[in-house]
Homo-oligomer: A and B are copies of this chain.
Amino acid sequence: GYYGEFGGAYIPEMLYPNVEELRQNYLKVMAEPEFQEEFNALLKDYVGRPSPLYFAKRMSEKYNTKIYLKREDLNHTGAHKINNTIGQILMAKRLGKNRIIAETGAGQHGVATATVCALMGLECIVYMGEIDIARQAPNVARMKMLGATVVPALSGSRTLKDATNEAIRDWINNPVDTHYIIGSVVGPHPYPDMVARFQAIVSEEIQWQLKEKEGTTKPNYVVACVGGGSNAAGAFYHFLDDTEVKLIAVEAAGKGVHSGESAATSILGKEGIIHGSKTLLMQTPDGQITEPYSISAGLDYPGVGPMHAHLYKSGRAEFIAITDDDAMTAGLQLCKMEGIIPAIESSHALAVFEHKKFQPEDIVVVSLSGRGDKDLETYINHFKL
């Protein structure tokens, strides 16, 4: 349950049976051939996998390097989140759970969870910060359409962190029939590991897709944005042990890393406990968790998954912090050069090309973790289009 010194399960005793049941079963269940078969069939026929590995010709010309985009934006529901919720809903069914809870920030994970619950006919309750409910109305509407109950988190900053607290509280109160579908590689063990394994399909596909296109399974770089870190975990997964493949994690610098309005956890964070996991998190000297800021609701999280804390601390991945402005510019550039509107989260990863010079022969795979339809208003307002 640890990545170096990070990870673990720092949970109240009330959650012990739930988490322990999951810990004891998740690897066994995931290894079952019927589970694999059902998971893979849904990824193919329902999610639309494999997601393409798209050679971005015009971008590659501009930056004089080989840029491939891993198109998670084309997944059903519009982001990588669904890979995990498909896996977890199958897990929940096998564990006999009939009630599903989830937290959501921007609403992508909430939609992905509501989606798989509809697919399986299970009750779904999504906790979402009251402020996020107001600013992410389309995703709230989608969840309602899908039959989920969206419960506003009224405590704290009324955003993602607080929605997570509320979801954990719900789980504490409903220990028997409920499975909590965490949306990122955060939370107590086994969540970070389980979610990473469900997302690992992303790097698995990159390997064989790159083999088809470039004759090698190894990109020179894999670039992904990191909030909690699930899309990066998926994109990095099969390359973690191969140091020939350089990993770049892009965090949200908000209005500037040291502006006081940032979500660059690796730089600003210190080791601590958040949502059941020992990791890097943004906190006061006193150990109170501080409010992060990013224009991207999906990166607006004060912690980071323990895998990423370890990648940072060990130096295995390079961490870059990209400001709101630079991310937005990179996002708009992708629209105009490749006809793809990226989620603002993904735009952070795309900004790497203005930040770092690559060689012409380098193969750089960028995780395009989601589509930007949910972010249209933010883009339009930002650029006064």
Contacts and interface: CB of A to CB of B under 8 A. Distances in A.
Nearest to A141: B376
B48 A51 contact: yes
A146 B142 CA distance: 24
Interface string A30-68: 000000000000001110100111110010000000000
Interface stretch (A227-235, A254-262, A335-343): A335-343
A117 B76 contact: no
Interface stretch (A167-175, A182-190, A377-385): A377-385
Interface string A141-160: 11011110000000000000
Given A55-B45, A373-B373, A145 B338 contact: no
Query: Which of A147, A332, A339, A379 has the most C-beta atoms of chain B within 10 angstroms of its own C-beta?
Result: A339
Contacts of A340: 76, 115
Interface string A214-256: 0000000000000000000000000000000000000000000
Given A48-B48, A145-B380, A339 B74 contact: no
A385 B338 CA distance: 36
A338 B121 CA distance: 8
Contact of A141 (B118, B142, B385): B385
A118 B339 contact: yes
Contacts of A51: 48
A119 interface: yes
A273 interface: no
A116 interface: yes
Contacts of A376: 138, 141-142, 145
A335 B118 contact: yes
Q: Tell me the interface secondary structure of chain A in the complex.
A: helix
B44 A52 contact: yes
A141 B335 CA distance: 12
Contact of A147 (B48, B146, B336): B336
A210 to B, nearest CB: 12
Interface string A329-365: 0001001111111000000000000000000000000
A338 B114 CA distance: 10
Nearest to A82: B339
Contacts of A138: 138, 373, 376
Contact of A335 (B146, B332, B336, B385): B146
A71 interface: yes
Interface in A304-345: 332, 335-341
A74 B53 contact: no
7 contacts: A45-B52, A119-B339, A138-B376, A142-B341, A144-B385, A145-B372, A145-B380
Interface of A: 44-46, 48, 51-55, 58, 71, 73-76, 78, 114-119, 121, 138, 141-142, 144-147, 332, 335-341, 372-373, 376-377, 379-380, 385
Closest 5 CB pairs of A and B: A118-B339, A115-B339, A119-B339, A48-B74, A141-B376
Given A71-B76, A141-B385, A373-B373, 20 more contacts: A45-B52, A45-B54, A46-B54, A74-B74, A116-B339, A118-B335, A118-B337, A118-B338, A121-B337, A138-B138, A138-B373, A138-B376, A142-B341, A145-B332, A145-B341, A145-B380, A145-B385, A146-B339, A147-B335, A147-B336
